[in-house]
Amino acid sequence: MKTVVWQSLSEAQQNSVLERPAITEGANITAAVSSVITQVQTDGDAALKALTAKFDNVVLDDIRVSPDAIAEAADRLSDTMKDALQAAYNNISTFHQAQRPQPIRVETQPGVVCEQVTRPINAVGLYIPGGSAPLPSTVLMLGVPAKIAGCKRAILCSPPPIADEILYVAQLCGIEEVYQLGGAQAVAAMAYGTESIAKVDKIFGPGNAYVTEAKRQVSNDFRGAAIDMPAGPSEVLVIADSSADPDFIAADLLSQAEHGPDSQVVLVTPDFALADRVADAIQTQLQQLSRADIARQALGASILIVADSIEACVAISNRYGPEHLIVQTEDPRALLPELDNAGSIFLGLWSPESVGDYASGTNHVLPTYGYTRTYSSLGLADFSKRMTVQELSKDGLLAIAPVVETIADAEGLDAHKRAVTLRVEKLKELL
Amino acid sequence: MKTVVWQSLSEAQQNSVLERPAITEGANITAAVSSVITQVQTDGDAALKALTAKFDNVVLDDIRVSPDAIAEAADRLSDTMKDALQAAYNNISTFHQAQRPQPIRVETQPGVVCEQVTRPINAVGLYIPGGSAPLPSTVLMLGVPAKIAGCKRAILCSPPPIADEILYVAQLCGIEEVYQLGGAQAVAAMAYGTESIAKVDKIFGPGNAYVTEAKRQVSNDFRGAAIDMPAGPSEVLVIADSSADPDFIAADLLSQAEHGPDSQVVLVTPDFALADRVADAIQTQLQQLSRADIARQALGASILIVADSIEACVAISNRYGPEHLIVQTEDPRALLPELDNAGSIFLGLWSPESVGDYASGTNHVLPTYGYTRTYSSLGLADFSKRMTVQELSKDGLLAIAPVVETIADAEGLDAHKRAVTLRVEKLKELL
């Protein structure tokens, strides 16, 4: 890791330090994904089976996992594992239940009532990546809010073979439709439907470059499906002062770095000596990690920034806009009102990122890659939509009519004006 | 307008009746917009001036409208107009203020506090279309929530010459940066910035096919900007029973139809005779409209649907998912719990759509083209983002540690586990 002294850098150098590496997916991924989507649209289930044989080396009899197979997964898990997943489930449920919106009702002027009501998105598709280790935590992060929001249908796709932990959490979340599908073909199946999989309205979840590109393509097609948020490599920024523990910081930076070679990890501190101690601790701890190679690659592009003051550290963090923001300072809560552009914030020595990744209750699906400027941490709101309602009394309409007529006139929209005038004339006849 | 009897149609025919016409923009718009964006990125202000001369036939000295020119607009407006705009402003403010979110704080288990906090999006760009008539109402719908959300910077672009009504509302909303720019070049300037216009984070507002395509392109580029929602032609669906007034329905359908030749208008009723009377009333009222030609084109593709029952009408509406939904039935509020997939709902005889377009307080920027299934009516939430926070006490961490360690183990993420284990070991040393 490279250490830089912030104030010694020019504006351009500062920008370059905080710039994320470009994601260069290349035209070949775009074209490959487009071809997979077309195959699924054209050949449905047959395409799904052919693509799964080709990409996952698995010949599927049934695309769908049977209810029995889902139920049996629990029998193969240890009680320790089931208890842990249940404990995480409970906390995530508690926090997402607290996000239930209250309906809003306001009488903006006498006789003019405006309301905001919320409805669950009808059908949602949850994508869970495969790979070397299962990700039951991601099932929790998508399945729990889908259930609490009241989505009528939540389906799950994950490449075969699907781990017992994933099936178990699916069952906890009441997900009955589980499909052994990965990659762009899974996204295409959820977005457009096939003989055996009914189309969904919105697709959630992380994935590799093919999944990400497929989500982008189907979300750009009005016949496709909406998606949760744009994807990017995972990242953490730590703000720390001399009260922090360098071992803790090193452990937090490494737990981000082990995610993948493209993970970004950043430390910002006013304490040069702390930066040095963190760098040493990272080297020591690296040796004990099974994923040290991945972490080492990620650390190659990562930086320790020494700034003038804690205020300067906060400004750098707000400018970078990290997915995860860990604050290990004397009084971390005092900084919270100033913190902006972050996905999830971890306050104090005893709040490591991994707690939020799994079990504190917050969602681990977060905007990254600078999208924290405009996108939100995944929450109940993403599984529902807001509609507005208005209801006017006769008197309400009479009172507001001149306002509507005047503005409609200015906008040259006759019929808009007449829809009001006609009613006013009828009301005057009735009086 | 064509009248169809729903139950006499096959499933395929029903789908075809509710299918929206495809938006075929063509590769030429995509390429033209891409070229404009590149020019603005490369040549900045000079490109903006050249493109404005080319597309708007206006030679700009200053791209920005001076504060004096904004202030002077008020002097040229009638008091009637200013009062109407102020009245609309007040109602829209009241309804959007009521949308202010409460921070959420939950102790999910002892010593584990999870919070959700909201921050305004820092810089927003508001696009207001030009054309034959000004749209001050759209400035209200974008400017008011930007102000209430607390966005630090809200800028407005609209093609020259900008009408006094627009400048006046900009001033009401506290917008100081107003630029005489339209089309894809305005979107590019807001998304990427130029010498005289600083980049924004998110772009809002309606526009023609070039503006829509430019918004799509910049929102697909992580260096660009987020956008409010996908765009489509405006549309209304009316659910009415025999208690409804055919003149009112005709007026409401026409006020949608006059928006543009691609507007969609649909009536769904269990009363065949009502459908006939509405068709007659439309013909009569059409003759009095200045935009009758546009309305007539829109009506050509529109339909009156006769269904078996009010419940069937609701199901058809939910399946279509209209931007605007007008309910003129005996007891419209009784239907509200069943209504889904709508942008804004207008209950009863005295709630015409044009009231919501201008002045009731609800926002007129709404999902359309079926996007009501997943997107929300524009609101305060779109001008801010949610971040989560967690803070654990020592005891909180000790209690949750085994859960995190167990799941991290299952996911093969050593460093995630160690970030917790290391802290637990230190805590045990301290005890």
Mention the CATH class of domain A26-100+121-227.
alpha beta
Q: Which residues pair with A240 in a beta bridge?
A: A328
**Is it true that the peptide bond before B161 is cis, omega within 30 degrees of 0?**
yes
Burial A138-153 (b: 16+ CB within 10 A, else e): bbbbbbbbbbbbebeb
Q: Mark yes or no for CB contact B402/A84 under 8 Å.
A: yes
CA distance A76 to A73: 6
Q: Mark yes or no for CB contact A406/B106 under 8 Å.
A: no
Please, which residues 296-315 of chain A have a Cβ atom closer than 8 Å to chain B?
A: none
**Is it true that the peptide bond before A159 is cis, omega within 30 degrees of 0?**
no
Strands A344-347 and A324-328: parallel
Burial A18-52 (b: 16+ CB within 10 A, else e): bebeeeeeeeebeebbeebbebbbeebeebbbbbb
Positions of B annotated as catalytic residues are 323-324
Same fold, B27-103+121-227 and B393-430: no
CATH superfamily of this structure's domain B27-103+121-227: Nitrogenase molybdenum iron protein domain (3.40.50.1980)
Contacts of A133 in chain B (CB under 8 A): 410-413
Who contacts A57 (Cβ-Cβ below 8 Å, separation ≥6)?
none
- Coil, strand or helix: which one is B405? helix
Cβ atoms < 10 Å from Cβ of A122: 18
Output the tens digit of pLDDT for each of chain B's 431 residues. 889 999 999 999 999 999 988 777 677 999 999 999 999 999 999 999 999 999 999 999 999 999 999 999 999 999 999 999 999 999 999 999 999 999 999 999 999 999 999 999 999 999 999 977 789 999 999 999 999 999 999 999 999 999 999 999 999 999 999 999 999 999 999 999 999 999 999 999 999 999 999 999 999 999 999 999 998 899 999 999 999 999 999 999 999 999 888 889 999 999 999 999 999 999 999 998 888 898 899 898 889 999 999 999 999 999 999 999 999 999 999 999 999 999 999 999 999 999 999 999 999 999 999 999 999 999 999 999 999 999 999 999 999 999 999 999 999 999 999 999 999 999 999 87
List the structure tokens of A319. 């400018």
One-letter amino acid identity for B79?
D
pLDDT reported for residue B219: 96
Q: Mark yes or no for CB contact B251/A419 under 8 Å.
A: yes
Residue (of A28, A25, A23, A40) closest to A218 by Cα position: A40
Residue A219 banded pLDDT, cuts 50, 70, 90: very high
CA distance B118 to B378: 17
Query: Do residues A239 and A335 lie in contact, with contact meaning Cβ atoms separated by under 8 Å?
Result: yes
Q: pLDDT averaged over chain A?
A: 95
pLDDT reported for residue B431: 76
List the structure tokens of A106. 């306001």
CA distances from residue B86 to B76, B81, B159, B362 in whole angstroms, order as listed: 16, 8, 24, 15
Nearest to B419 among A91, A252, A418 (CB): A252
pLDDT reported for residue B261: 87
pLDDT reported for residue B25: 66
Which chain B residue has the Cα nearest residue A254? B415
Please, which residues 116-145 of chain A have a Cβ atom closer than 8 Å to chain B?
A: 116-117, 119, 121-122, 132-137
pLDDT, mean of residues A38-56:
98
CA distance B247 to A396: 20
pLDDT 10s digits, A349-375: 999 999 999 999 999 999 999 999 999
ipTM: 0.96
Distance of CA A150 to the CA centre of its chain: 19
* Sequence ranges of the domains in chain B: 27-103+121-227, 232-374, 393-430
Distance of CA A264 to the CA centre of its chain: 17
% of chain A at pLDDT higher than 70: 100
CA distance B215 to B126: 12
CA distance A193 to A199: 4
Give domain A393-430's CATH architecture. Up-down Bundle (1.20)
- Coil, strand or helix: which one is A345? strand
CA distance B290 to A412: 9
pLDDT reported for residue B376: 98
Residue A131 banded pLDDT, cuts 50, 70, 90: confident
| Domain covering B232-374 assigned CATH 3.40.50.1980 in the classification | yes
List the structure tokens of B354. 């044009």
Say if residue B63 is exposed, middle or buried (CB neighbours under 10 Å; 0-12, 13-18, 19+): buried
Please, which residues 40-99 of chain A have a Cβ atom closer than 8 Å to chain B?
A: 80-81, 83-85, 87-88, 90-91, 94-95, 98-99
Indicate if the pLDDT at residue A25 is higher than 80: no
pLDDT reported for residue B341: 97
Q: Reduce the secondary structure of A130-181 to three states and give it as a string.
A: CCCCCCHHHHHHHHHHHHHHCCCEEEEEECCCCCHHHHHHHHHCCCCEEEEC
Q: What are phi and psi of B79, to 5 degrees?
A: -60, -35
Q: Mark yes or no for CB contact A415/B251 under 8 Å.
A: yes
Q: Among A48-62, A97-111, A236-250, B254-268, which stretch is predicted with the lowest mean pLDDT?
A: B254-268
One-letter amino acid identity for A182?
G
Is residue A127 marked as binding?
yes
A324, A338, A353, A405: the catalytic one is A324
